[in-house]
Amino acid sequence: MKEWSVLAYLVGDHKGDADSLDEAIASELKAICDAADTAGFGRISVAVQVDFRRNGRTLRATLTERPARSAGMAAERPRDNPLSRRIIDQLEWQKQHKVLSFAGRLVQGIAKKLRTLFLRVKNLPDLNAASEDVLQQFLEFGRKECPARRYLVYFFGHSFGPMGMFLDRETKTRSPNSLRLNDLADAIERNQGHASIVLFRDCFMCTLETAFQLKSCADFVLASQAEAPILGVWPWEQFMAALVGGGESLDIGRELGRRLTNFLSQKDNREPFADVPYSLLDLSVARQLAGPLKELVRALDSARGDENRRVRCATALERARVGFPDDVQAPGDPALIDVLTTCDNLAALSSDSVSGPANELRDLLTRLVPFSFTLLGRHRGVSLYYKPTTQEHLDRSFIQATDPQEEKTDAAHYQRLALCKESNWGRFAVDPLSTG
């Protein structure tokens, strides 16, 4: 059993006609395998599942130490192992007959390069990557094939933040679906699963909704409050080196954050965005947030009956919205408010009943967010959904659905999240205060 294993779930399916995510995922997968073969050799195992959009199939694989023939004998070389030999033979046959698939070319490139680790590959039919069952099956597969004391679970794909991740469909069905946050948590937790660190290369996932939902199945989350760039390969050799370096999960989470943000500090690595804010969330603190947040909701609701209070509180909340998805110089989404900025704005209303719970919540945020990075300083650690109140914000939001049926479906799912059940924020968030 290793100290760490990496379970990587990469999804190319998304809205629109572009195929750019497939190539980005292929490059990222190769970087993960290369890093496991060098910096993590012998100490970290990897399980991956890749859902390529244009390939129409799902790739599931593990990368582990080569199995030994018997006690005291050296492990087999990949090309000597029958399974690896069959994979490479099949890929060579496909290449000769010009039917080599996109996934096949990728596996071929990885299999030929590896000399130290053992590659097992399963070519599966197209699966619904946005299904709780499919994710759970992969995680169960990863834990079985790559047993470890601690797991880093990595996600790469499109996301709607609090409204869910990915967009995929069951085979031969018309309506795609997203993986909701409660489904994400249930998939990780099923069969007594747990993640030490969940790393998101997915937009808008650094939210209180994520922290509340994963608090029973993970220890730490590393995620962005804004968009995560599609292009560019993350520094996986540095990540693997941080994992094998040892230490508590909190220290390793901080180190992963530092290495990622050093990488994103370079303009070429965050193109086209002026900022890619990332934070580490300590989920052990999430449970303590419910009380102050619930009190804050009660105080904000009471302002509806007082015009002056309502306008002051509404203005404080509106000033905490940060950025737009279509503005690379000011990334973010107007359906999200920065929680620390919100607390500061409300605490400044010192004579109002909102100031007390706002101050209490603000004090807890310093413990919830032990590490954060931003170049522009507009994002300050963690976000929270709050429905836009102006037409411009509604039109420019990526998270807030404009189709009435989609909005209704999203709202129903949102109310089921742990954050909404424990704090009543969901009821307030979909019926925001207006400054008008």
Q: What is the CATH number of the domain that holds 170?
A: 3.40.50
Q: Are residues 258 and 333 in the same domain?
A: no
Instruction: Give all strands (DSSP E) within 42-139, no chain letters.
Output: 44-51, 57-65, 117-125
Q: What is the pLDDT of residue 47?
A: 94
Q: Are residues 182 and 302 in the same domain?
A: no
Q: What is the pLDDT of residue 318?
A: 98
Q: 306: closest CA among 433, 406, 157?
A: 433
Q: Are residues 191 and 318 in the same domain?
A: no
Q: What is the pLDDT of residue 79?
A: 41
Strand 2-11's sheet: what is its strand order? 117-125, 57-65, 44-51, 2-11, 148-156, 195-201, 218-224, 278-282, 371-373
- The verdict on residue 375 lying in a domain is no
Q: How far, in Å, CA of 168 to CA of 15, rounded?
A: 9
Q: What is the pLDDT of residue 106?
A: 66
Q: Are residues 71 and 191 in the same domain?
A: yes
> Is-contact 38 237, C-beta < 8 A?
yes
Q: Are residues 223 and 304 in the same domain?
A: no
Q: Are residues 304 and 269 in the same domain?
A: no
- The verdict on residue 376 lying in a domain is no
Q: What is the pLDDT of residue 314?
A: 97
Q: Is 192 left (phi over 0), alpha (psi -120 to 50) or beta?
A: left
| 103 burial via Cβ count (<10 Å: 0-12, 13-18, 19+) | buried
Q: What is the pLDDT of residue 63?
A: 86
- The verdict on residue 374 lying in a domain is no
Q: What is the pLDDT of residue 175?
A: 66
User: Which residues in 361-375 are b (16+ Cβ under 10 Å) and which e?
Assistant: bbebbeebbbbbbbb
Q: Are residues 197 and 51 in the same domain?
A: yes
Q: What is the pLDDT of residue 282?
A: 98
Q: Are residues 268 and 291 in the same domain?
A: no
Give the pLDDT means over successive 10-residue stretches in the chain (436 positions). 94 63 86 87 90 74 66 37 46 48 62 64 82 95 94 96 85 73 96 94 98 98 96 94 94 98 96 97 97 97 95 97 97 98 97 96 97 97 97 96 93 96 96 88
- The verdict on residue 160 lying in a domain is yes
Q: Are residues 318 and 249 in the same domain?
A: no
Q: What is the pLDDT of residue 169?
A: 64
Q: Are residues 301 and 414 in the same domain?
A: yes
Q: Are residues 77 and 167 in the same domain?
A: yes
- The verdict on residue 157 lying in a domain is yes
Q: How many domains does the chain have?
A: 2
* Domain end residue (candidates: 260, 284, 308): 284
Q: Are residues 238 and 351 in the same domain?
A: no
- The verdict on residue 76 lying in a domain is yes
| 144 burial via Cβ count (<10 Å: 0-12, 13-18, 19+) | exposed
Q: Provide the residue type at 243 as one letter.
A: L
**What distance, in Å, lies between the first and last C-alpha atoms of the chain?**
60
* Domain end residue (candidates: 251, 284, 317): 284
Q: How far, in Å, CA of 353 to CA of 355, rounded?
A: 5
* Domain end residue (candidates: 284, 313, 329): 284
- The verdict on residue 378 lying in a domain is no
Q: Which domain holds residue 210?
A: 2-284
- The verdict on residue 230 lying in a domain is yes
